[in-house]
Structure 1
Amino acid sequence: MKRVQNPQICHGHSRPIVELAYSPVTPDGYFLTSASKDGLPMLRNGANGDWIGTFQGHKGAVWSCRLNNTAMLAATASADFSAKVWDAITGDELHHLEHGHIVRTVHFAHQSSKLVTGGYFQQRLRIYDLQKMDSEPGTVRDVPDKVRCAAWHHNDNLILTSYTDQPGIGVWDTRTSTLVKTLQTGKEVTSIEISQDGRYVTTADGTEVRFWDGDKLEPIKSFSQQYSVESASFCPEKGRFVAGGGDMWAHLHDYETGAELECNRGHHGPVHTIRFAPGGESYASGSEDGTIRIWETDFAQKTENGDAAAAAAAAVTSAANGS
């Protein structure tokens, strides 16, 4: 009989979870941030989900929450027409970044002090240099639609953006503020993830999970699902990807074949966000039901192997006892 996985359930939010993001591994471990419509982004221990703190100050739903590479800074994007930068150690607000409309996404550059924001304001991206906050932010103008997601490419010169009302991913060169490429998708892209080593870009649109070469920004493969996919995450070390969406379940797949390996049930609403932890031993899902659930990767395979080993050991013991 197949065992049912009991995930670590993280309570604390009172409204839907709309984005989760892990930090890289730091000398103090790794961390998990959550953005929620309750307006109270949270910081947790990434390994076990234990609550560390809440960033208090927004007056509207928080759509995005990110940590920088050292996990010393956090950034948030909100429906209150602002983005904020926080000290992730003390929880203090460091910078209040006023915008003219809803801010939907924030993302730290990988190797620099830059932060990009995007949303419903004037169809543009703003780029802040956190070491020069007295200066006006840079802008990428002529973005064709309201921005849903924005993510720095690993070279910190390009930004990948998706839009709320049109398909495709725009690749913008921040040095020239020009669109240099568009990655074609069938539907609006609701999730963009760039792997920690920069080799892969994983996206979700409609019922598709797509994988792109992180250097060439060319398609590698895609897999169609039987449900609307809102978020997807890839772990190259494990050869696994996870996806979540409208059917309320967290799905684990084999990257080579696309085969579904596990379907984890437990959420009571659509899964809006799903992300692998560093190293891929677990992954977290956030839902309309206001909870975060942390799942063990390859749980079924591990338990089957463990049960088989236990049965073999019991057989050896039984034979030795002459029974």
Structure 2
Amino acid sequence: MNQQVVNPINEANTVNLKLRGFNVYQFDATESGAPTYNRRDFYKIVLSTSHMLIHYADQSMEVKGTFLFFSNPHVPYSVELLSPTHTGYSCLFNETFLQVAGRLESIQQSPLFKIGARPVFVLNQGQQAFLESLFEKMLQEQDGDYPFKDELVRNYIQLVVHEALKIQPSDKVIKNKSAASRIAALFLDLLERQFPIEAPQRPLTLRTAQDYANRLSIHVNHLNRAVKTTTGKSTTTHIAERIVGEAKALLQHTNWSIAEIAYGLGFDYPTHFNNYFKRVADQVPNAYRKQ
């Protein structure tokens, strides 16, 4: 069996993930440094032996030994290694992979993947051995040519999930932030999930503080107070800076016209986009592109 060894901090090559909806790999790496939150487009289950800090949404957890970690595309996270090595297995899968077999809803409703959940499970030797066997089976199926191997991998993922549900989650949370901090974290996560804009035909739909308050099912004044108290910036400022940041990326890295960028970012008219961009960036979009 050929096992793929990759760096777990810098995400694995996701070519296979994009082609077939899942990717399983084994890792053995050494890396440290400050955490960086990244946008991810897939669910991830990690079986790891290490000592690290996991920053997940609005909480930070210190874990040492062998543990399971669950993440989903809607919650930002990062890790800081506190030990020289980080070994184990990782399984990545997207929503399409589970939708095929009607498994997506059960995963989304699982407490392991919900926002606000504690996604780390410390393991004993017996649990570690059993879960390692499941990851090894996923590796074998991934490298094999069995025509129904996707269904087998889905079954193994479900077994990992159910095994974790039997285990009490780690309670070594370093800091539980205030309700305002949690609301701000959920807002910032929801804001980031609106990007990147992939086509003018699928425009940005959440553009105001009221839009985000409606989606989070809270009063807009409550949202504004929480975001301002936690970050020092208003909700509107965060939205404007993120929209203009996306606009700059599209101006720099695509050949979309100014009008297409405007429509993609939810503006009805290019002139409205020009004025908005100039107010935030102190120059018009066309000047920024030329520069």
What's the TM-score once normalised by structure 2's chain length?
0.27
Higher relative contact order (CA 8 A, sep 6+): 2
Higher strand share: 1
Higher helix share: 2
What's the TM-score once normalised by structure 1's chain length?
0.25
